Structure 1
Amino acid sequence: MKIQVRVIRTWSEFLELRPEWETIFEELEEQNPFLSWDWIESWVEIYGHRYKPVILVVVDSPRVIGIAAFYFDEKARHGLTKTPAIRWVGDQFVSSEFLDILAPVYQKYTVWWNVLNWFLENRELNWNLLVLDDMIQSRFSVQIVEQISKKLSLGYHRAVKNVLPVLYFPPEWDKWKHSHPHPDFISMMRNRTKRLRKKFRVEIRKIGSQDELKSDIEIFFELHQKNWNYKGLPGSFVTPEKREFYRRITRRFLDRNWLEMRLMRIDGAPATVEVGFALNQVYYSLQSGYDPRFRRFSAGSILFYEFFQELLGDGIKRVEFLRGDETYKFRWGAHRRYSVTQWVGNRSLYGIAYPFYKRQKNRIKHAALAVFS
């Protein structure tokens, strides 16, 4: 039987997809929290009312082989212009990473082929661009989208978006210390930790219950804002929507035993909080918060130092620091990796011209850097 694409156009209907979503999620070559049902559902609950869903369910009867979760943004901004665009569910407001279609690796080409052809053949949305943000540069889907776009004569451009530092652990803490690219840094952290614990009463607590989470997530918001306001910046949690998203996703991930949240107190006062998720031997370091009063004691780094020892003991093999090339990530031994944005344009003038414009702009930028570097 011919492969079919079923379209879901309401959020309530989308929320009925959970069983199929969970089944395919278990088949992914690498499951990550940003493609989990809990993350996507929480985004839909908080932000979905702003947009029209375009959820494509690819069926090789009787089995669902892939799901592509998009929404329609009628006034998406691209540089100085606005144009109707199709975007990933979950790609705005909440720092999602590793976004992709939901399909096992052996079905990805088939699913992408049917998804892109569906968008070409169904023009009632009047879209100009498919904007695929926050995809890992090395992932199979990135190459597939480029190949199919060229086959279908679509506008196409890809550009690096963010640095995504990643740290690989050996099996044991002692081996990691001895193989670390910055051994002096590890020695310094060990000494700072000893001094802090000698001078103050230091408590590091893992949040393990919903009651603890209910109070400690509010401490996290407060510390995060304090740190960013100290730097003269607004911080990530100025909107009530984003705070509510984090309340929901931490509750849900705690129920799955994915939440890894640590609160450090110094002489009873909240000093720093680390919020992340652990799934399939990978730790995702999502957000942190610090009280600026404790900066001179390197409280955040000391929390990491002790926490990393726990992670190694729990069998974690990789730490994803997520977006941003802050210096501290590389002091721990992280390597650079990149996320990309892909723009796929339809066959309209704008759909062809905008990716071409982005491509030429990128070439000019790199040529200028080569000349003046």
Structure 2
Amino acid sequence: MLTLEIIDSYDEFKGCRDKWEKLLSESRVSNVFLTYDWIDSYIKHFCKSDRLLILNVFEGGRLAAIAPLVIRKGRYFGMPVRAVRFIGTAISDRIDFIICGNKEGILGAILDYLMAIKGEWDFVDLQEIAEYTGTMAAMEICLDKKGFVNILGPARKSFFIELNGKRGAVFNRFYRKFNAKLRKLRNKQPGIEIDVERPAADADALSVIADIERHSWKRGRCGALFSEKNHMNFHKEIFEKFSKSNQLDISILNLNKTPAAYVYNYLYEGRSYNYSIAYDEAYSDVSPGTILMFCAIRDSASSDAVEFDFARGEGSWKIRLTDSFRTHNRVRIFKTGAYSRFLYILQSKIIPCMKAHAWIYRIWMKIKGALRWN
């Protein structure tokens, strides 16, 4: 028999570290974005006006699953909405339910509970679920059995380079690419000083990469890591936590002793997660980001990492480096009632129609960004 325990306050969550980490280590979904430290920092810096809805699922007294959820108030097409989302949505590159047990039964119990409190939300929006965990397959079966109105997708690709068994080949490939880029740069700018630095992951390093980002194409955009105070404070805390456990890998390319590009990676369970890369636009003609990325992949191949994970995003530059990818999916679930059904029509019919007309969608996204709607 399955029973649920509701964690809806930060004080309660603070007592969950040991059981959280134990369950995560035993699950198929273990990744850096589901660690207790990452979730803890996200809650502190991004959930101040949200309602925590962490569900611990027990089977015969044994903790079998954790649903790391939150109810967030926002706006959709200017209308107020209350969405059930994963803790970490928007800044986490991979999220999921942490399950060690029968996925269908556990997901069914979670969905039943959400429907029991449907007066507290307007729709459920779960993003960045990796296909290989089996969660989406089990979720589709549950939704079909229960007859809940839903939207599956769109699916997105997450690229990676497998290093196990290919370490020498990957190292040689990117060693050559890195050296070729350096030769081209030195031919273009004779006498230029080039230095790749692997600084300690401290406040000084964070300040350097934040400054590079401010001079990059990312400045002021939603993809910027340090443009808003809560984002900067979040990453300060992550730097402090992850540096203590050697889970940060920062690379900085200096040109004539001036920082020109950075690569910001997390290290977890043998994988190097490329969380962010940016370069100063003043150096765009010499491809500093490409040079540093070649160096980062080369160094990962010479370490004990089993994989270089580019995380989410389908940038064309990733496709040029690897053809290996995983699929990430999204599911939105709607309850009965006029307002929720209207949101369903909006998201399943109207938005796709707008996207089919690119110029209309671009105008809409500019309006949405200006009004700071979620």
Q: TM > 0.5 between the two?
A: yes
Pick from 94, 103, 107: which aligns with 1:108?
A: 103
Moved more, 131-140 or 186-195: 186-195
2:122 aligned partner: 128
Tell me which residue corresponds to 1:255: 244
The residue aligned with 1:325 is 314
- Aligned twin of 2:81: 83
Aligned to 1:156: 150
Percent of pairs with identical residues: 18
Partners of 2:256 and 2:356 in 1: how far apart? 55
Q: Which residue, out of 170, 173, 187, partners 1:176?
A: 170
Q: Which residue of 1 aligns with 2:92?
A: 96
Aligned residue runs from structure 1 range 186-205, under 5 A: 189-196=178-185, 199-205=191-197
Whether the 8 Å CA contact 1:172–1:313 is kept in 2: the answer is no
Of 105, 108, 114, the match for 1:119: 114
Question: Which amino acid in structure 1 is aligned with residue 85 of structure 2?
Answer: R
Q: CA deviation at 1:243?
A: 0.7
- Residues 127 and 293 of structure 1, relative CA distance in 2, 3 Å threshold: closer
Contact 1:33 1:277 (C-alpha < 8 Å) held by counterparts: yes
C-alpha displacement of 1:244:
0.8
Contact 1:71 1:88 in 2 (8 A): yes
Letter of the 1:102 partner, please give it: I
Q: Does 1:287 align with 2:285?
A: no
Tell me by how many angstroms 1:192 deviates: 1.9
Q: How far off its partner does 1:16 sit?
A: 1.4
Q: 1:141 to 1:78 in 2, by over 3 A?
A: farther
1:67 equivalent in alignment to 2:50: no
Q: Using a 3 Å threshold, how does the CA distance of structure 1 residues 96 and 165 change in structure 2: closer, same or farther?
A: same
CA distance in 2, matches of 1:344, 1:252: 35
Give 1:314's match in structure 2, choosing from 303, 313, 322: 303
Give the residue type in structure 1 aligned to 2:66.
I
Deviations for 1:349-371, whole angstroms, at most 9, x for unmatched residues? 444554455444588689999xx
CA shift at 1:330, angstroms?
A: 1.7
Contact 2:29 2:96 in 1 (8 A): no
Matched to 1:201, the amino acid is E
Per the alignment, residue 37 of structure 1 pairs with 36
- Aligned-residue Cα RMSD (Å) equals 2.9
Q: Secondary structure at the match of 2:88?
A: coil
Contact 1:225 1:235 in 2 (8 A): no
Scaled by the length of structure 2, what TM-score is found?
0.84
Instruction: Label 1:151 to 1:233 Cα distance change in 2 as closer, same or farther (>3 A).
Output: closer
Q: What SS class does the counterpart of residue 40 from structure 1 fall into?
A: helix
Return the alpha-carbon distance in structure 1 between the equivalents of residues 330 and 17 of structure 2: 27
Correspondence 1:166 to 2:165? no
Shift of 1:138: 4.8
CA contact (8 A) 1:274 1:288 kept: yes
Distance in 2, matches of 1:345 and 1:233, equals 30
Q: Distance in 1 between matches of 2:147 and 2:232?
A: 42
Q: Using a 3 Å threshold, how does the CA distance of structure 1 residues 363 and 176 change in structure 2: closer, same or farther?
A: same
Aligned AA for 1:98? R
Q: Deviations over 1:4-62 (max 9, x none)?
A: 10112212111211111111111122421111111100011112211111111111243
Change (3 A) 1:145 1:243: same
Q: Gapped runs of 5+ residues in structure 2?
A: 359-374
1:205 Cα offset (Å): 2.4
SS at match of 1:342: strand
In structure 1, what is the Cα distance between the partners aligned to 2:52 and 2:223? 29
Q: TM-score, normalised by structure 1?
A: 0.84
- 2:212 aligned residue (223, 227, 252): 223
Question: Is there any run of 5+ residues in structure 1 with no aligned partner, and where?
Answer: none
C-alpha spacing 1:130/1:233, structure 2 compared with 1 (3 Å)? closer
For 1:262-298, what per-residue CA distance to the aligned partner results, in whole angstroms no more than 9, with x for missing partners? 1222232212111011222322111123222332222
Give the aligned length: 354
Change in CA separation of 1:313 and 1:365 when aligned onto 2, cut-off 3 Å: same
Q: Distance in 1 between matches of 2:280 and 2:96?
A: 36
In the other structure, the counterpart of 1:20 is 19
Q: Is contact 2:160–2:310 with CA below 8 Å preserved after alignment?
A: yes
Contact 2:334 2:340 in 1 (8 A): yes
Query: Closer, same or farther in 2 for the Cα pair 1:19/1:186, shift >3 Å?
Result: closer
Question: Following TM superposition, by how much is the alpha carbon of 1:233 offset from its aligned partner in structure 2, in angstroms?
Answer: 5.3
> 1:165 Cα shift?
2.5
Find the counterpart in structure 2 of residue 345 from structure 1: 334
Contact 2:4 2:57 in 1 (8 A): yes
Check conservation: 1:173, 1:309, Cα contact below 8 A. Answer: no
